[in-house]
Each structure stands twice: as C-alpha cells, then as structure tokens.
Amino acid sequence: MIEQIRSGQVRGLAVTTAKRSQLAPELPSVAEAAVPGFDVMGWFAFFVPRRTSRAIIDKVHIDTVTALRDPAVKAHFDNIGMVAFGSTPEELAALLTAEMEKWQPVIKQAHIALD
C-alpha cells in the first residue's frame, strides 16, 4: 500500500508492525495508536528439506543476504513497502517458534482447521 499512500490515493492510518516503519515514519504503529501490544507482520523465508547439509544451508543463507544487500534489490523492496533482511537459520527458527506461540490460541479459538 505504500505506493498508494505516497500517491495520495489512500490515507494510511497505521502500520501493523510493533514499531513505525522506516519507509513511512509518519504513520504510527497500531500498538502506538490504538491497541497496545499489537504486532503483526508478513514475512517470507526459504526452507530446505530436513536433512539438507549445513554447507548448503549456509550457502543459501549467504547468497540470500548478498542479494538482499544489492542496491537494486533494496530499491525495489523499498518501492513496494517491504523491509528485507536475511536472518540466520537459528533466527528463523526462533521466529517460527514465536509465531506459532502467538497464533496457536487464535487458531484454536476460531476453530481453524486444515481440510
């Protein structure tokens, strides 16, 4: 939505991450503006099969971080309102654990199930 906000097509009210976005620092976070503790973000990650060697995992990580540092890639993500960074496999594991802990009660309360 960053392009639509910048063009004036829509008015941004807040960002859903815990802190203000560096791409739109004028917008408060939902936590700051209305709902303390609110923190929802989208994210993407590369996953490999369970028994993939650490050497391959490290290569994928290094190549990903290198690509994300490329000025053209960074500019593209900035234009679409995404902050891209490469985490380590251990940081991704911690994120997955935290996300599962955060969303499991919501899933249970809403009776969400896979078909």
pLDDT at 63 (0 to 100) = 95
pLDDT at 80 (0 to 100) = 82
pLDDT at 25 (0 to 100) = 92
Q: What is the mean pLDDT of each successive set of 10 residues along the chain, which is 115 residues long?
A: 88 93 91 94 93 96 94 89 86 94 95 90
pLDDT at 115 (0 to 100) = 82
pLDDT at 72 (0 to 100) = 96
* Count of all residues that appear for the chain in the document: 115
Task: Give me the numbers of helices (H) and strands (E) for the chain, helices first please.
Answer: 5, 0
Q: Judge residue 15's burial from the number of C-beta atoms within 10 Å of its C-beta, 0-12 exposed, 13-18 middle, 19 or more buried.
A: buried
pLDDT at 84 (0 to 100) = 85
